[in-house]
């Protein structure tokens, strides 16, 4: 009986203690703050977004974001910056190179039928370049007649070193299908050519040559069939991109371009074509079964192609599909096994299947020192105007590690020319153009941490432009980042010094 009384007294004292503390601050505020979920029983739901930034506290890396701040996917303000590593005006310089001819002016590109800044269609580059080990760059440029030239330029003396001879057969053809260095003053250029049936620009050819213009090999991929034949391939890069990449370590060449094929519905549909050539002979690589390595119909309505050789000597491709799938995708390819795996990192919302209207621009990619890949692209989906986003992709799984919008525009928009490269051990450099209609309004540059979070505000240059289908590249000495444009009939080499 006494034991029962003791238990009763203990229970009464405990109740008094609990009630006496009801008015005190709780160490876990989220445990007390609830909202009614509106059902008849009056059930309540714990509030998990105490700073009201739209990111649940369980996923929020910045729990005390001030009201009204725009945040990234981690709940941190995108205006949250540090100043120890930033781009200043003194980081930027440029010099001009006079030529015997004139590169294709930007205005002509921006007003082309398939090359407007907001067009989903890609294009082969009008100006492209490769970096050499002696701190020179070889710049390929096209004039308004589609003639091609290669100018070797010294980054140290800021002068023209020499003009590289291009075989006449290349310049006498149709569309340009990409340019790449094969090392040791050897080059390869792709071009389209009429077939024996008179089908204009139906064939896709690739010719390698040395600096004297001596041909090393020429390879035709396809296009020799009469273009009225069902399943005939042709029209390389008519409404898309074309690129060439070379792996010096494994001596293979990657060809990735848009093309069309006549289907049994009587329509020539477009897709990507990806394959590999032997770097020495130009022979199309095949597997042990005798089948060509690659993919002859990759992403239906594949508008715009990008790609890089990875540190593992695989090829990372970007695709812009308007049908099957209707998405932006990154895929991994081997010159031995072909396609390995991929990820559709952005599902396109605007427009409808196969109607050639995605309101999206492919952008560019770069491999980071930690093995991830950074991709930039722009879209109007759920935005007031076409804005730029960066996605950090873990290529091991693959999956999106982090994403953040880099712009928030309303009148102007982000068009072609977006680029990305690793800047230093801790940062990524992103550059993009803004446009008003087809008129460029400036280029913009920003540094981002490797995890995708912002570190600085953007630095803008009103008179520079980032040319389409061209990537940032680091100089051979690793001290600067290069891009090349045209102004006043001259080549303009832009240099961004690395702090």
Distance CA 473, CA 461 (A): 19
Residue 478: its H or E element: none
Residue 107 in tokens? 């205005």
> Which residues, in sequence order, are bridge partners of residue 306?
318
d(CA 173, CA 146): 9
Contact indicator for 119, 417 with CB cutoff of 8 Å:
no
Task: Kindly tell me the sign of the dihedral angle through the C-alpha atoms of 219, 225, 228, 231.
Answer: negative
**Count of positions (residues) in the chain:** 499
Q: What is the pLDDT of residue 136?
A: 97
**Residue 302 DSSP one-character state:** -
* Tokens describing residue 213: 């213009």
Token pair recorded at residue 60: 């929020």
CA 102, 103, 109, 115 torsion: positive or negative?
positive
Pairing mode, if any, of strands 203-210 and 215-222?
antiparallel
The CA-based dihedral angle spanning residues 201, 202, 203, 208, taken in that order and rounded to the nearest 10 degrees: 30
Assign 20 to helix, strand or coil: helix
Measured between alpha carbons, how far is 354 from 324 in angstroms, rounded to an integer?
Answer: 9
> Rounded to whole angstroms, what are the CA distances from 499 to 86, 132, 424, 471, 480?
8, 22, 8, 20, 9
User: Tokens in use for 390?
Assistant: 């960066």
Phi, psi of 58 (to 5 degrees): -65, -20
Contacts of 369 (CB under 8 A, 6+ apart): 422, 425, 450
Tokens 């907001």 -> residue: 118
- For every one of its 499 residues, what pLDDT tens digit does the chain have, with 9 covering 90 and above? 444 344 334 444 444 343 344 444 433 333 333 333 334 444 444 557 888 777 888 888 888 888 767 778 788 877 544 445 789 999 999 999 999 999 999 888 999 988 999 998 999 999 999 999 999 999 999 999 999 999 999 999 999 999 999 999 998 788 999 999 999 999 999 999 999 999 999 999 999 999 999 999 999 999 999 999 999 999 999 889 999 999 999 999 999 999 999 999 999 999 999 999 999 999 999 999 999 999 999 999 999 999 999 999 999 999 999 999 999 999 999 999 999 999 999 999 988 888 888 999 999 999 999 999 999 999 999 999 999 999 999 999 999 999 999 999 999 999 999 999 999 999 999 999 999 999 999 999 999 999 999 878 899 998 889 999 999 999 999 999 999 999 999 999 999 999 8
* H helix runs in 67-212, sequence order: 106-110, 168-171
At 228, list the tokens: 């009225």
């Amino acid at each position: 009986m006494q034991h029962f009384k003791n238990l009763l007294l203990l229970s009464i004292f405990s109740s008094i203690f609990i009630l006496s503390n009801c008015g005190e601050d709780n160490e876990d505020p989220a445990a007390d703050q609830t909202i009614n979920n509106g059902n008849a029983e009056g059930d309540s739901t714990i509030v998990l977004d105490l700073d009201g930034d739209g990111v649940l506290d369980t996923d929020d890396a910045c729990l005390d974001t001030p009201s009204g701040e725009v945040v990234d996917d981690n709940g941190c303000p995108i205006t949250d910056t540090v100043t120890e590593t930033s781009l200043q005006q003194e980081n930027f310089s440029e010099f001009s190179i006079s030529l015997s001819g004139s590169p294709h002016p930007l205005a002509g590109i921006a007003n082309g039928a398939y090359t407007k800044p907001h067009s989903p269609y890609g294009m082969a580059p009008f100006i492209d370049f490769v970096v050499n080990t002696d701190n020179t760059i070889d710049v390929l440029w096209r004039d308004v007649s589609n003639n091609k030239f290669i100018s070797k330029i010294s980054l140290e003396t800021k002068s023209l070193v020499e003009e590289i001879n291009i075989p006449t057969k290349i310049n006498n053809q149709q569309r340009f299908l990409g340019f790449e260095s094969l090392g040791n003053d050897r080059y390869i250029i792709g071009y389209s050519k009429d077939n024996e049936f008179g089908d204009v620009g139906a064939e896709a050819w690739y010719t390698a040559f040395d600096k004297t213009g001596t041909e090393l090999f020429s390879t035709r991929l396809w296009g020799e069939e009469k273009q009225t034949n069902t399943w005939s391939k042709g029209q390389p890069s008519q409404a898309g991109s074309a690129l060439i990449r070379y792996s010096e370590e494994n001596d293979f060449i990657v060809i990735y371009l848009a093309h069309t094929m006549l289907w049994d519905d009587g329509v020539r549909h477009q897709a990507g074509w990806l394959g590999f050539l032997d770097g020495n002979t130009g022979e199309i690589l095949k597997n042990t079964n005798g089948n060509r390595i690659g993919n002859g119909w990759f992403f239906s309505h594949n508008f715009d192609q990008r790609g890089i050789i990875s540190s593992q000597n695989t090829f990372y491709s970007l695709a812009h599909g308007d049908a099957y799938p209707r998405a932006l995708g990154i895929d991994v390819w081997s010159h031995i096994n072909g396609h390995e795996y991929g990820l559709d990192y952005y599902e396109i919302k605007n427009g409808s299947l196969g109607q050639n209207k995605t309101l999206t621009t492919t952008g560019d990619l770069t491999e980071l020192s930690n093995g991830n890949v950074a991709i930039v692209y722009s879209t109007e989906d759920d935005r007031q105007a076409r804005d730029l986003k960066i996605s950090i992709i873990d290529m091991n799984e693959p999956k999106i590690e982090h994403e953040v919008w880099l712009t928030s525009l309303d009148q102007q928009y982000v068009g072609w020319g977006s680029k990305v490269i690793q800047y230093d051990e801790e940062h990524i450099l992103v550059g993009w153009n803004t446009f008003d209609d087809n008129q460029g309004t400036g280029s913009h540059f920003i540094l981002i941490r490797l995890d995708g979070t912002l570190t600085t505000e953007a630095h803008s240059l009103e008179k520079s432009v980032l040319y389409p289908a061209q990537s940032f590249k680091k100089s051979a000495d690793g001290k600067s980042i290069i891009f090349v444009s045209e102004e006043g009939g001259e080549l303009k080499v832009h240099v961004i010094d690395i702090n």
